[in-house]
C-alpha cells in the first residue's frame, strides 16, 4: 500500500516541480499560436482549454494504461515506482517537447520535426515507419474495444464484426470532419465516463487497501507466477502508456493546432501525461490485488482480467460502466490516430486539407489499408499477437526518435537539451536491446534472439552513437545558426481580441 501511495504522490509532486522546470526550459510565451495564425475551420480551430486537455488525455490514454499495466504489473510491485519516475522524467517531458515543437512550427506533425532536426535521410525512413505504426494503432484500437463490447455486453450474441464496423465508421467520420464538430463535441462526454470509471475504481481500491494493505503487496502465490523476463527492456515495452509512449508525439500536434495560447502547454501536454500515469497506477494496483486474490488469472488474457477487476471491485453495473470507460480510451485514441495519419500524409504530400474532397482522397487508401490489417489480424490469435508486439516496440522507436529530435532542437536553441537526451538515451537502449534479445525462445515475439549481455553491449553502442549524433547536430545548429528551429514571435496584441475562429472570420469578412 505504501509503495502505491508513494507512486501517486511522486506523480503530483513531479508535475508541480520537474514539470515547472521543463516549462522554464521550453519557455512558452505569448506568441500567436497556429490555431489563430493559420485558422482554417477544419484542423486549425481555437477550442477552450478544458476541451483541449480532455482531448489530449483521451488521445494519448489508449488501452496502454489499462491492458499494458495489467500485463506489466506481473513484473512485480516495483512497477509502482517505475511508472511515476519514468512518467515525470521521460513520458511527460516527451509529450511536452512534442507539443511545444509543433506549436513553434506552425502545428507541424512529428515527421516534419524529425526532418528539421535529424535531417532528410532519417526523415524519409521515419515518415514511412510513422504511417505504418499509426495504421497498427488504428487496427489495435478497433480490435480491443470491439472484443470488449462483444465479450462484456453481448456475450451470447456474435457481434464482434458488427462492433468493428461501427467503430471503424466512427473513426472515418471523426477523421473527415472538422475537429470541433465531432471530437470537440463528443470528447467531453467520453472524458466524463473515463473520469467516473477511473475515480470509482480508485475509491474502491483505497477502501480495500486501507482495510487490508496486503492486497497491494506481492503474495507468495503472486511471486510464484511473476514474469521472469528482464525488466530492462521488457517492462518498458509492455508498459508504454503511463511511462513513455512515442505514439503520444503523433497526437500532441492535434491540439497544438487548437490552442489559443502557449501558456496552456504545461497543463495540456505535461499535465495530461501525468494524469495518464495516475490512471495507469490505479489499474496496476487493481491488477495486483486481483492477481493476489485469484493467482490463476496471471495466465489469462489481460482483457479477461480487466472484466474480472471491474466486476470484483465495482459490481455488475458500475463495473460495466468502467469497461465502457476502457472502450472509450481505445476509441478516442484510435480516431485521432487515424486523423493523425491523414494529417501526416497530407503534410508529406503537400495536400491542402480544407476541401473535403482532398480529405477524402487521403482517407481512401488509409481505409483500405486498415481493412486489410483488420482482416489479417483476426485470422487467429497469433496474428493479433504479432500485431500487438510490432505496435509495442514500434511505439518506442517513435519515442526514442522524438526525444533525440528534442535534444537536437533544444541544444540548437542553446537550451538544456539533456532533458530530452537522457530519457532518449534510455529509451534507445531499451528498444534496441529488446529487438536484439527477444525471440520465441525467450518468450517474446520474433527478434534476433541474442544473449542478454551481448544485446546490452550492442544496444549501448547504438545508444551512444544515436544520441551523440543528435546532440552533435544540435550543437552544430547553435554554432552555425543556419536552421529555423522555432517560429518567429508575433505581436500578440493583433489577435488578442479574437476569442475564437468564428470571431476571426467575422473580422476578416469585414
| pLDDT tens digits, 7-25 | 999 999 999 999 999 999 9
Cα(152)–Cα(309) distance, integer angstroms:
13
Predicted local distance difference test score (pLDDT) of residue 483: 57
Cα(165)–Cα(131) distance, integer angstroms:
22
Q: What confidence tier does 325 reach under pLDDT thresholds 50, 70, 90?
A: confident
Predicted local distance difference test score (pLDDT) of residue 485: 57
Over the stretch 94-113, which tens digit does the pLDDT of each residue have? Answer: 999 999 999 998 888 888 89
Mean pLDDT of 335-348: 78
Query: SS3 of 452, please?
Result: helix
Residue with cell 534479445: 437
pLDDT beyond 90 at 66: no
pLDDT beyond 80 at 118: yes
Q: Give me 373's grid cell.
A: 490489417
Tell me whether residue 235 is in a domain.
yes
* C-beta of residue 265 within 8 angstroms of C-beta of residue 100: yes
pLDDT beyond 60 at 498: no
Residue with cell 507539443: 99
Tell me whether residue 363 is in a domain.
yes
Tell me whether residue 510 is in a domain.
no
Tell me whether residue 83 is in a domain.
yes
Predicted local distance difference test score (pLDDT) of residue 11: 97
Q: Give me 176's grid cell.
A: 473527415
Between 443 and 264, name the one with better pLDDT. Answer: 264
SS (H, E, C) 305-322: HHHHHHHHHHHHHHHHHH
pTM across the whole model: 0.84
What does residue 320 show for φ and ψ, rounded to 5 degrees?
A: -70, -30
Burial of 169 (0-12, 13-18, 19+ CB in 10 A): exposed
Predicted local distance difference test score (pLDDT) of residue 385: 62
pLDDT beyond 50 at 175: yes
How many angstroms from the chain centroid is the CA of residue 29? 25
Cα(3)–Cα(77) distance, integer angstroms:
8
Q: Which among 248-262, 267-281, 387-401 has the top mean pLDDT? A: 267-281
Predicted local distance difference test score (pLDDT) of residue 388: 66
pLDDT beyond 60 at 342: yes
Over the stretch 141-168, which tens digit does the pLDDT of each residue have? Answer: 788 788 778 777 767 777 888 888 888 8
Mean pLDDT of 201-207: 92
Ordered alpha helix ranges (H), 32-159: 34-37, 49-60, 69-72, 79-86, 92-103, 110-118, 120-152
Expressed in percent and rounded to 5, the helix, strand and coil fractions of the chain are 75, 0, 25
**Spatial CB neighbours of 33, under 8 Å, sequence gap ≥ 6:** 103, 256, 259, 260, 261, 262
Query: SS3 of 444, please?
Result: coil
Kindly calculate the radius of gyration of the chain based on its CA atoms and give it in whole angstroms: 22
Q: What confidence tier does 53 reach under pLDDT thresholds 50, 70, 90?
A: very high
Tell me whether residue 440 is in a domain.
no
Mean pLDDT of 427-445: 87
Predicted local distance difference test score (pLDDT) of residue 138: 82
Between the two ends of the chain, the Cα-to-Cα distance in Å is 63
* C-beta of residue 232 within 8 angstroms of C-beta of residue 396: no
Mean pLDDT of 392-419: 92
Residue 11 to residues 86, 239, 281: CA-CA distances in angstroms?
A: 10, 16, 10
Number of domain units in the chain: 1
Domain that holds residue 31: 2-377
Tell me whether residue 269 is in a domain.
yes
Between 121 and 378, name the one with better pLDDT. Answer: 121
**Spatial CB neighbours of 398, under 8 Å, sequence gap ≥ 6:** 110, 129, 130, 133, 246, 247, 249, 250
Predicted local distance difference test score (pLDDT) of residue 464: 97
Mean pLDDT of 423-431: 96
Predicted local distance difference test score (pLDDT) of residue 501: 44
Q: Give me 267's grid cell.
A: 497543463
CA within 13 Å, CB half, 112: 25
Predicted local distance difference test score (pLDDT) of residue 484: 55
Q: What confidence tier does 384 reach under pLDDT thresholds 50, 70, 90?
A: low
Tell me whether residue 284 is in a domain.
yes
Predicted local distance difference test score (pLDDT) of residue 497: 40
Tell me whether residue 485 is in a domain.
no
Predicted local distance difference test score (pLDDT) of residue 499: 39
Here the CATH number for the domain that contains residue 61 is 1.20.1740.10
Average pLDDT in the chain: 84
Predicted local distance difference test score (pLDDT) of residue 383: 59
pLDDT beyond 70 at 505: no
Mean pLDDT of 252-259: 91
Q: What confidence tier does 36 reach under pLDDT thresholds 50, 70, 90?
A: very high
Please choose, from the candidates 80, 91, 57, the residue with its C-alpha nearest in 3D space to the C-alpha of residue 9.
Answer: 80
Q: What confidence tier does 502 reach under pLDDT thresholds 50, 70, 90?
A: very low
Amino acid at each position: 500500500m505504501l509503495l502505491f501511495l508513494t507512486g501517486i504522490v511522486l506523480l503530483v509532486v513531479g508535475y508541480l516541480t520537474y514539470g515547472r522546470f521543463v516549462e522554464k526550459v521550453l519557455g512558452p510565451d505569448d506568441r500567436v499560436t497556429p490555431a489563430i495564425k493559420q485558422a482554417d475551420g477544419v484542423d486549425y480551430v481555437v477550442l477552450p482549454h478544458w476541451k483541449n486537455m480532455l482531448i489530449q488525455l483521451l488521445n494519448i490514454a489508449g488501452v496502454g494504461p489499462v491492458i499494458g499495466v495489467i500485463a506489466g504489473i506481473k513484473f512485480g510491485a516495483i512497477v509502482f515506482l517505475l511508472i511515476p519516475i519514468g512518467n515525470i522524467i521521460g513520458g511527460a517531458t516527451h509529450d511536452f517537447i512534442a507539443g511545444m515543437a509543433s506549436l513553434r512550427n506552425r502545428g507541424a506533425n512529428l515527421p516534419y520535426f524529425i526532418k528539421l532536426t535529424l535531417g532528410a535521410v532519417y526523415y524519409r525512413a521515419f515518415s514511412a515507419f510513422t504511417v505504418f505504426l499509426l495504421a497498427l494503432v488504428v487496427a489495435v484500437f478497433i480490435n480491443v474495444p470491439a472484443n470488449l463490447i462483444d465479450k462484456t455486453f453481448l456475450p451470447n450474441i456474435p457481434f464482434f464484426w458488427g462492433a468493428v464496423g461501427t467503430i471503424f465508421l466512427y473513426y472515418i467520420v471523426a477523421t473527415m470532419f472538422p475537429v470541433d464538430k465531432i471530437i470537440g463535441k463528443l470528447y467531453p462526454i467520453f472524458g466524463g465516463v473515463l473520469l467516473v470509471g477511473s475515480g470509482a475504481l480508485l475509491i474502491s481500491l483505497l477502501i480495500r487497501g486501507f482495510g487490508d494493505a496486503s492486497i497491494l503487496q506481492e503474495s507468495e502465490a503472486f511471486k510464484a507466477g511473476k514474469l521472469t523476463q528482464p525488466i530492462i527492456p521488457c517492462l518498458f515495452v509492455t508498459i508504454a502508456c503511463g511511462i513513455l509512449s512515442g505514439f503520444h508525439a503523433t497526437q500532441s500536434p492535434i491540439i497544438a493546432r487548437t490552442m489559443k495560447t502557449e501558456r496552456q502547454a504545461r497543463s495540456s501536454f505535461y499535465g495530461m501525461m501525468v494524469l495518464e500515469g495516475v490512471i495507469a497506477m490505479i489499474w496496476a494496483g487493481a491488477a495486483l490485488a486481483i492477481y493476489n486474490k485469484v493467482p490463476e488469472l496471471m495466465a489469462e488474457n489481460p482483457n479477461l482480467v480487466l472484466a474480472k477487476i471491474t466486476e470484483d471491485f465495482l459490481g455488475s453495473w458500475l463495473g460495466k460502466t468502467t469497461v465502457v470507460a476502457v472502450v472509450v480510451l481505445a476509441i478516442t485514441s484510435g480516431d485521432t490516430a487515424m486523423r493523425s495519419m491523414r494529417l501526416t500524409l497530407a503534410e508529406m504530400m503537400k495536400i491542402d486539407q480544407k476541401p473535403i474532397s482532398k480529405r477524402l482522397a487521403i482517407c481512401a487508401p488509409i481505409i483500405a489499408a486498415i481493412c486489410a490489417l483488420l482482416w489479417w489480424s483476426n485470422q487467429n490469435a497469433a496474428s493479433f499477437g504479432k500485431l500487438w508486439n510490432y505496435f509495442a516496440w514500434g511505439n518506442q522507436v517513435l519515442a526514442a526518435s522524438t526525444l533525440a529530435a528534442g535534444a537536437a532542437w533544444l541544444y540548437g536553441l542553446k537550451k538544456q537539451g539533456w532533458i530530452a537526451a537522457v530519457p532518449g538515451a534510455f529509451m534507445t537502449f531499451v528498444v534496441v536491446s529488446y529487438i536484439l534479445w527477444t525471440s520465441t525462445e525467450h518468450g517474446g515475439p520474433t527478434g534476433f534472439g541474442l544473449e542478454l549481455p551481448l544485446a546490452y553491449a550492442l544496444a549501448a553502442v547504438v545508444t551512444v552513437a544515436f544520441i551523440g549524433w543528435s546532440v552533435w547536430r544540435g550543437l552544430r545548429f547553435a554554432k552555425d545558426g543556419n536552421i529555423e528551429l522555432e517560429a518567429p514571435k508575433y505581436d500578440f496584441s493583433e489577435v488578442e481580441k479574437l476569442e475564437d475562429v468564428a470571431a476571426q472570420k467575422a473580422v476578416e469578412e469585414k
